[in-house]
Amino acid sequence: MVAPYANWTTRNAPSLEPFGILALLSVLIAVPAFLMIRVLEPGLVLPAFSILLFAEATIAAIVARSIHVRRNSENVTLWDIAGAFTMMGCAAAIFSEPDQMAQFFEELGEAAQDYGTYR
């Protein structure tokens, strides 16, 4: 009596692949986010975090497209993860002020100019 139920459980168990990929992408977000918090001024963290989330969403979408993940599934897919990262990136961009974004890109431009003078 136990064997048919065990076989049913192994056949219908949810896949752990999306959760493993979510864990990997979460670590890839946590490390740069921690560095951003430590290095950047407090006003520049949200704009930089929104750019990081958009980049992670792009990576998740490219990986989902390249491994041909089905878009319509009952389980969480990479497309769902990419959408969640996009929504979080939009929220971070909305909560940041426009002048914070301008200041962030000004600092990036200054850093690029400084890098060009040292070459």
Burial 41-72 (b: 16+ CB within 10 A, else e): eeebbbbbbbbbbbebbeebbeebeeeebeee
- Tell me the pLDDT of the chain (119 aa) as tens digits: 455 555 555 555 556 666 777 788 788 889 998 998 998 888 888 888 999 999 999 998 998 888 887 777 677 778 888 999 999 999 998 888 878 777 777 887 887 777 665 55
Q: What is the pLDDT of residue 57?
A: 93
Q: What is the pLDDT of residue 24?
A: 81
Q: What is the pLDDT of residue 99?
A: 81
What is the per-residue pLDDT across 50-73, written as a single tens digit (0 to 9) for each? 999 999 999 989 988 888 877 776
For residues 48 and 104, is the Cβ–Cβ distance under 8 A?
yes
- C-alpha count within 13 angstroms, C-beta hemisphere, residue 69: 22
pTM over 0.75: no
For residues 49 and 103, is the Cβ–Cβ distance under 8 A?
no
Q: What is the pLDDT of residue 105?
A: 78
CA distance 116 to 56: 28
Q: What is the pLDDT of residue 18?
A: 66
